[in-house]
Structure 1
Amino acid sequence: MEDLHRILEAIQDNGQRSVLATITHVEGSAYRKEGALMLFFEDGSQIGVLSAGCLETDLAARVPEILAAGVSCGFVFDVQSLEHLSWGEETGCGGVIHVTMEPVNGVLLEHLRTLKDCLDQHTEVKIIKKISPDRSVSDYAFVSGKERFFGEWRGGFPQDLMELAVSEGYFIHTYYPKPRLTIFGAGPDARPLAAFAAAAGFSVTVSDWRPAWCNRSYFPDVDTLLVGFPEETVDMIQSTSNDYVVVMTHNFRRDQQLLRLLSERQLCYLGFLGPRHRMERLLNGNPAPENLRSPVGIAIGAEGPVEIAVSILAELIDTYHKNRRRTTVSYAT
């Protein structure tokens, strides 16, 4: 998933000068696609990646110059060539990658903070950058919904850009709020799933009626812990196309309650741990919700809490990206 959220959090907590790098166009194959972000701090520390190590050294070397000049720059890396790149390495990745680097000055910093506020309110935001012939960024705008507009855009903003997937001389990308995952059940097998999902970029909530299990010592990385029975906590979770639920209480009666309470919710993903025949008993002859996944997870022959967590997380990520493919990222010259 995108490094955007980690970058926005780091910018708020770190007072150093920094440079934001964005992949605006990819021809052929590449480790990361259009819209991937990376932040370079003045002291050499970094947040995110743009490649498997092919580009970062060269980009980091350009940071002092960009900070000194105070203007954006654009670079093209031809990693399909057999010739050595500028720092003497041959990658053979097979693509051409366009990258813009922008110093995070006071104005851009405020706009990034506003972007974070929008995403924290679970609002999608579209970024539109006007790309100059030298591949630098001449103007940029963030558009949230139909009303909110912020950025540095000279002259009138072409409103029709908001609906375009491809437009000459522009980079267009949609930033999404963190997908939210609620795990019902705080047993030992929920712990690796919660940790892996948080590391992958989900905002994770764990709910259980047993306070001895549902506590911060077992779930240090989650955003929220809800202690209570299903009928007490289920109304506290969100129900949108950006929300995911995994039920793994290992308690048949509680799972029945959760199936009844969650079946009518407009969730992106509703997964129940357990074999198929157990799910049939839970349904008790009723039709299965369209978003139901049971057995939960991708079939990889998983055994034990860690492997099962990997299979579930893989299915969550797969579902997330399939839903996002309806939005096209673009840059045209």
Structure 2
Amino acid sequence: MRDIVDGLIAWRAEGVAFAVATVVRTWSSAPRQPGSSMAVSERGEVLGSVSGGCVEGAVYAAAEEVIQTEKAQQHTYGVSDGDAFEVGLTCGGTIEVMVQPWVALTDLDDVLAAIQDGRPVATVSLGDHQLVIWPSRVAGSLGDAGLDRAAEQVAAGMLSSGATGTVRLGEHGEQRMADVEVFVQTYLPPPRMIVFGAIDFAGAVARIGGFLGYHVTVCDARPVFATRKRFPSADELVVQWPHLYLESTAVDERTVLCVLTHDPKFDVPLLEVALRTPARYIGVMGSRRTHADRMRRLREAGVSEAALSRLSAPIGLDLGARTPEETAVAIAGEIIARTWGGSGLPLTGLDAPIHG
């Protein structure tokens, strides 16, 4: 619900009734992933999407009924000869969608506020029942104490890694409930993108990072360049030597680091620190000659070949980019490919699933 949370909060403030449809399971080349949500208000307004347009009409009708009955529904949509263009996924694949009324959503206002603020929370849904897992407490119920215990254990583990999906609770210690499946949706703070080097390319990278849902920090040791006027879209500006800042800030497996300084006095000590972190992506700007010199300096500093192999340098995909904005697209493309295992090749001529 992260992409529709602002609209839901507005509906709550107005006292508007609504239903939320969520993708809980997909097969084959489904267009949206589990957790993708669409909401329909009693006034007929729509937020979000569950299929990019393929089955929204059918989901809309189901949501209208759920608003009236205040009872949850579950539907599966796929391609069939008779109804593919009416309510099917014309692009292929199959999705299972859960439609819940607002009254079935436990701690709704608190959950929406947590999502908006980037605080961790997990929800476990089973029909009209919902359990909410907070870091320090649990709210709601699935209608059975045994289910609640099993769901709490599973959801807490999934929350720690940010996983979302359908879980069979019987596989986690409650064997008498082996046929009960629940949908666990987790919300963590947005992943971090740290952009080092307050140059013109950094502004474009910061903008596209925000567009992709990252919490973007721009860091540069030069206060004349790292200004709010130059980087209005950055969530955070830091004036500090890059390697000192990186040593002092939180970096996890979801963090991406974009090193745009291409100056050895900045990027060599910075990369020595970066390569000791669990960051998912470390991209470094510079020509091949600059990068060869950088690699020499890093080897002389004792950085291993295994560590150096983590670097994406020169940064970005080969798109023929010229402008800062085009370069930012090339960098974003490489980050997305690394995140989801994409090849970075044109889909034309590939027979792999389009949506992963």
Q: Output the TM-score relative to the length of structure 1.
A: 0.78
Q: 1:152 maps to which residue?
A: 141
**Cα shift readout 1:4-63 (whole Å, capped 9, x = no counterpart):** 323334433542433211112334432113332223344444332211211223333444
Q: Do the aligned partners of 2:191 and 2:214 also contact (CA within 8 Å) in 1?
A: yes
Contact 2:36 2:50 in 1 (8 A): yes
1:24 and 1:169, CA in 2 relative to 1: closer, same or farther beyond 3 A?
A: farther
Alignment of 1:4-15 (within 5 A): 4-14=1-11, 15=13
**1:209 touches 1:228 (CA, 8 Å); kept in 2?**
yes
Aligned to 1:204: 216
The structure-2 alpha-carbon separation of the partners of 1:321 and 1:152, relative to structure 1 and needing over 3 Å to count, comes to farther
Change (3 A) 1:318 1:174: farther
- Which of 77, 90, 93 is equivalent to 2:91? 93
Residues 1:138 and 1:191: Cα distance change in structure 2 (over 3 Å): same
Written as runs of structure 1 = structure 2, the 5 A alignment for 1:230-245 is 230-231=242-243, 233-245=245-257
- The aligned amino acid for 1:270 is I
Q: Tell me if the contact between 2:28 and 2:93 (Cα under 8 Å) persists in the aligned partners.
A: yes
- Residues 112 and 210 of structure 1, relative CA distance in 2, 3 Å threshold: same
Q: Distance in 1 between matches of 2:93 and 2:276?
A: 45
Cα distance in 1 between the residues matched to 2:20 and 2:181 = 18
State yes or no: 1:311 paired with 2:330.
yes
Distance in 1 separating the partners of 2:90 and 2:200: 43
Q: Which amino acid aligns with 1:129?
A: S
Query: Deviation at 1:212?
Result: 4.5
Q: What TM-score do the two structures reach when normalised by structure 2?
A: 0.73
Comparing 151-160 with 310-319, greater Cα deviation is found at 151-160
**Cα distance change on mapping 1:287 and 1:169 into 2, 3 Å:** same
* 1:140 maps to amino acid: Q
Residue 278 of structure 1 aligns with an amino acid whose one-letter code is T
Q: How many residues align?
A: 308
Determine if contact 1:8/1:112 at 8 Å carries over to the other structure: no
- Check 1:304–1:114 CA distance in 2 against 1; reply closer, same or farther (3 A cut): closer
Q: Is the 8 A contact 1:239 1:265 kept in 2?
A: yes
Distance 2:134 2:341 in 1: 23
Distance 2:191 2:42 in 1: 31
* Native 8 Å contact 2:191 2:255 kept in 1: yes
Query: What does 1:106-255 correspond to in 2, within 5 Å?
Result: 107-110=106-109, 112-113=111-112, 116=115, 120-121=118-119, 123=120, 126-130=122-126, 137-143=127-133, 148-158=137-147, 159-160=149-150, 162=154, 166-167=167-168, 168-177=179-188, 178-231=190-243, 233-255=245-267
Contact persistence 2:40–2:63 (CA under 8 A): yes
Cα distance in 2 for partners of 1:107, 1:91 equals: 31
The percent identity for this pair of structures is 24
Counterpart of 2:54 in 1: which secondary structure? coil
Distance 1:94 1:279 in 2: 43
Preserved contact between residue 181 and residue 204 of structure 1 (Cα < 8 Å): yes
In the alignment, structure 2 segments of 5+ residues that lack a partner are 159-165, 169-178, 343-356
* Distance (whole Å) between structure 2 residues aligned to residue 263 and residue 48 of structure 1: 38
1 CA distance for matches of 2:115 and 2:194? 22
**Change beyond 3 A, Cα 1:236–1:56:** farther
Q: What root-mean-square deviation, in Å, do the aligned CA atoms of Structure 1 and Structure 2 show?
A: 3.2
- Go from structure 1 to structure 2 and tell me whether the alpha carbon gap of 1:216 and 1:157 turns closer, same or farther (over 3 Å shift): farther
More helix by share: 2
In structure 2, the CA distance between the partners of 1:29 and 1:234, relative to structure 1 (3 Å rule), is closer
Give the number of the structure with larger relative contact order, counting CA–CA contacts within 8 Å between residues 6 or more apart: 1
